[in-house]
Amino acid sequence: MGFRGSAHGKTYWVVAKNPYNNPPGHTLQRSVWSSTFRNRAALIAVVLLTGWVGAGCSLSLDFDECVAQSDCADGLLCSDEGYCVSPGSGGGQAALTGGPCEAVYGPAAAPNVLLIGTMLPLDDSQKELGIAMERGAMLAVDEINITLAQAEGSPQIALVLCNSSGNTSQAEQAATHLASIGVRAAVGPALDVPLAELGTSFSPPGSPNNEQGMILVSPGATAPAITALDDSQTVYRTILSATGEAEGVRLMLQNPSGFGLPEPLRVVVLYKQQQDSVSIQQSIAGRLAGQIDATYVAYPDPADTSVENKDFGPAFSEIYQANPNVIVLVGGNEGLQIIGWVEWKWREAVSKNPSVYQDLNWVLTSGGKRTTLFTEIEKYDELDLADVTSRVQGVEVTSAKGPGFAGFSSRLANAFEFSEPPSLAAHAYDAVYVLAYAWALHHQSSADKPTVQNLIGSIAKLTSGVDVVVGDAASLAGVWEGTLSTTTVNLRGASGELNFDGAGDVTDGALARFTPNPVSRTFDSAPLIQLSPQDDPRTTR
């Protein structure tokens, strides 16, 4: 049983244990409801009070008790009270929630419904982006369900909404719950580390933690290491890998005057001795080879417990000897600490020999787009924040903003009152459509619910064929019913072309250039380039 409500003309069921804050103007709440029925006596009371038992009629309640989902027959769910209940009952809505999975969105009680989980960070520092991605997924469900309501079999999609909180432990709890209720596909996790962990320990069929496996489509994880996961083709990303940033670095360095860099260039690429940073460094080296000379300097990873000496001194000595005027920094918070420290040390070199040493210019990868940049620079009284930040810029992976982006953005803003929807919301929206089209392609050959292997095979068909823009109602219904004569689809998303390679990565994306604003202590961003399969940065791996 759950509470039925509406928001902006939509109907939803919400059954949950913990409330959370929603964006202004949207009334979907995770209402407090911890059980299907408190006990058999409560149900009997409901039956008696509503007059369901008349004179001469006997009351017979036949509940199958359960401890785990495996105790229930196919199509039934194990409720919090230990009874097998139907998803079509109010109680089934409650049985779909548990742990960090706090709500259900969409017609989960429909007879032909595909349940999709979401594992997104809905609190802490990533809360704003997590909620935006969740809303993007919800908009896709609304559109898809309207489109398919009149199609053969009336297929519908419902979301089981989980808060992964941006950490691996909670993401694992969410994934475990989703698997226990039969979910075979999820949007998320959105962050690198949880996705990498679940992609090897949970999503492949036959995993010790999840025998059936689960398709994971991440709208936000960009770590290069995810490409090489041993995930049995169960992990996909609707956002470009961070190795694409190497192309942005090359473009900046090849056109120094256009980006305010000094000439002639003397470049140092400073990177952390950690897998993802090394992957990006190698991509940069491949892009610059034969075009731009650079010195590559590694610094120790503070999180690596196997390394005793984590002194930045040796790295600075190499920088000093190379005498750069541009440093490309590949790293996160610890890299931003280096900026302040190197700038402070470099002042001495410039003051002693200004004819040899020049002020440094910095080109950051996306790991450096953090507000700690400002505080790290301000730790040194000798440094002027405005001066240093005027010599800092960076490149990051962003949404390619495909042909459906304008319409998506407008619809999302109207539905959930976003003034400017974040681009990651488009990646989550597209992730749901990827799964919907995979289900539709599977339906062409089987009316059965798709297994993980079925979905893998169908997603592989989303690379060529009839051009389809997400949000196009006629196309999705046509694929489902077979009236659109195609067994493959060239799916064009709101975030860009949704062409996946053999590793589950999209081959299209976009890059943006960001610059720090010392007054607002934020970052300004502008488009840099849109990448295509012909310019795939991953060919340098």
**What is the number of other CB atoms lying within 10 angstroms of the CB of residue 277?**
24
Q: How far apart are CA 95 and CA 35, in angstroms?
A: 8
Would you call the peptide bond into 422 cis, given omega within 30 degrees of 0 as the criterion? Answer: no
Tell me if 356 is assigned to some domain: yes
- What's the pTM? 0.73
* Domain match, 260 and 380 both: yes
Tell me if 66 is assigned to some domain: no
Q: What mean pLDDT is reported for the chain?
A: 81
* Domain match, 394 and 425 both: no
* Domain match, 344 and 215 both: no
* Domain match, 435 and 479 both: yes
pLDDT for residue 309: 57
Tell me if 78 is assigned to some domain: no
Q: What is the mean pLDDT of residues 499-527?
A: 90
Q: Which domain holds residue 438?
A: 3-36+89-239+404-492
pLDDT for residue 471: 84
Tell me if 7 is assigned to some domain: yes
Q: How far apart are CA 209 and CA 200, in angstroms?
A: 10
pLDDT for residue 310: 63
Residue 1 · residue 83 · CB < 8 Å: no
* Domain match, 371 and 308 both: yes
Residue 271 · residue 280 · CB < 8 Å: yes
Q: How far apart are CA 273 and CA 301, in angstroms?
A: 5
pLDDT for residue 422: 74
For residue 325, give both structure tokens.
Answer: 């005027």
Tell me if 79 is assigned to some domain: no
Give, for 455, the enclosing helix (H) or strand (E): helix 452-459
Tell me if 59 is assigned to some domain: no
* Domain match, 425 and 286 both: no
pLDDT for residue 530: 65
527 confidence band (pLDDT: 50, 70, 90): confident
Angle at 140 between CA 78 and CA 499, to 5 degrees: 105
Structure confidence by residue, pLDDT tens digits, 12-64 = 444 333 323 333 333 343 332 222 333 333 333 333 333 333 333 333 334 46
pLDDT for residue 69: 56
Tell me if 62 is assigned to some domain: no
CA-nearest of 404, 434, 454, 429 to 498 is 434
* Domain match, 202 and 295 both: no
* Domain match, 394 and 408 both: no
446 confidence band (pLDDT: 50, 70, 90): very high
DSSP 125: G
Structure confidence by residue, pLDDT tens digits, 337-386 = 889 999 999 998 888 888 888 999 999 998 889 889 999 999 999 999 99
- Which range is least confidently modeled, 72-81, 463-472, 528-537? 528-537
Structure confidence by residue, pLDDT tens digits, 165-207 = 978 999 999 999 999 999 999 999 998 889 999 999 999 999 8
* Domain match, 7 and 113 both: yes
Tell me if 420 is assigned to some domain: yes
User: Residue 134: pLDDT above 90?
Assistant: yes
Bridge partners of 112, per DSSP, are: none
CA-nearest of 36, 66, 60, 64 to 47 is 60
* Domain match, 289 and 419 both: no
**What is the number of other CB atoms lying within 10 angstroms of the CB of residue 501?**
13
CA-nearest of 187, 185, 221 to 205 is 185
319, amino acid identity: I
Query: In terms of DSSP H, where are the helices of 61-219?
Result: 90-95, 127-148, 168-180, 192-201
What's the Cα-to-Cα distance from 265 to each of 291, 292, 326, 428, rounded to whole Å?
A: 12, 8, 7, 40
Structure confidence by residue, pLDDT tens digits, 56-98 = 333 333 446 776 656 766 556 665 556 665 554 444 456 799 9
pLDDT for residue 529: 75
pLDDT for residue 400: 67
CATH number for the domain that contains residue 296 = 3.40.50.2300
Return the beta strands (E) in 171-276 as ranges.
185-187, 215-218, 235-237, 267-272
Position with higher pLDDT, 421 vs 328: 328
* Domain match, 514 and 366 both: yes
DSSP 225: G
Q: What is the rounded end-to-end Cα distance, in angstroms, of the chain?
A: 52
Structural domain total, the chain: 2
* Domain match, 132 and 212 both: yes
pLDDT for residue 93: 57
